[in-house]
Amino acid sequence: MSDEEATITYMVREPFEQAVRSLRKALSDGNLELAGELDISSRIRQKLLVDTAPCRVFFVTAAPGVFEKPGADPYAAALTPLHVVISARGSQTEVHLLRPFSAQKQPMAPPTLAAFRRLQIRVVEAVERIGMRCRFGA
């Protein structure tokens, strides 16, 4: 396993709910679609009666017509929609994403991997419009 972190984190200098709105707009402006979202902190509160800081997962796909469909590779469907995590950190908000696959790691067929990378890059570009990268791998 590489020493690099598997995820990348951005800091948005806005409180949680405002950052959620900003992220929705940034994704939409980047021709990305929200296929769904999961309020993890609410689920934990409902099921375990434990209060945690707000945390949601956005499930992001490319808007129709922007990319070709992932194709015949089951990994593509197993990895998309792409997860984007938004979590409160005090008066600011963190956004966590999957780090793009390295050139050596090729878990999918090349056309699928290329489409998946394009989706990742588009999501990174959208997040970089509202946040600053704040954590780097070792």
Partner 1 sequence: MNCGVRRWANQMETLVSGRNYTIAHRFDKALRLIRNALVESELTVAGEFDASGLLEHDGRKAERSRILLIDSPLLDFEALALDRAAGVFLPLHLLVSADGELTQAFAANPVALFDGRLPLGAAGPMGRLGARVALALESVLLEDHTNRRQPEDEG
The smaller minimum CB distance to partner 1, of residues 72 and 129, is found at 72
∠118-122-128 over CA atoms, to 5°?
A: 140
Distance separating alpha carbons of residues 19 and 3, to the nearest angstrom: 30
Least distance (Å) between residue 133 CB and partner 1: 13
Write out the two tokens for 101: 């696959």
The smaller minimum CB distance to partner 1, of residues 29 and 77, is found at 77
The smaller minimum CB distance to partner 1, of residues 31 and 98, is found at 98
Residues in touch with partner 1 (CB under 8 A): 1-7, 9, 35-36, 38, 40, 43-44, 46-48, 50, 52-53, 55, 57, 59, 69-72, 74-79, 81, 83-85, 87, 94, 96-99, 101-102, 104-105, 107, 137-138
Least distance (Å) between residue 34 CB and partner 1: 12
- Owner of token pair 């922007």: 66
Least distance (Å) between residue 111 CB and partner 1: 13
Distance separating alpha carbons of residues 24 and 77, to the nearest angstrom: 23
* CA distances in angstroms from 104 to 51, 74, 113, 129, listed in the order given: 41, 20, 12, 29
Q: Which of 97, 92, 83 is CA-nearest to residue 40?
A: 83
Least distance (Å) between residue 89 CB and partner 1: 8
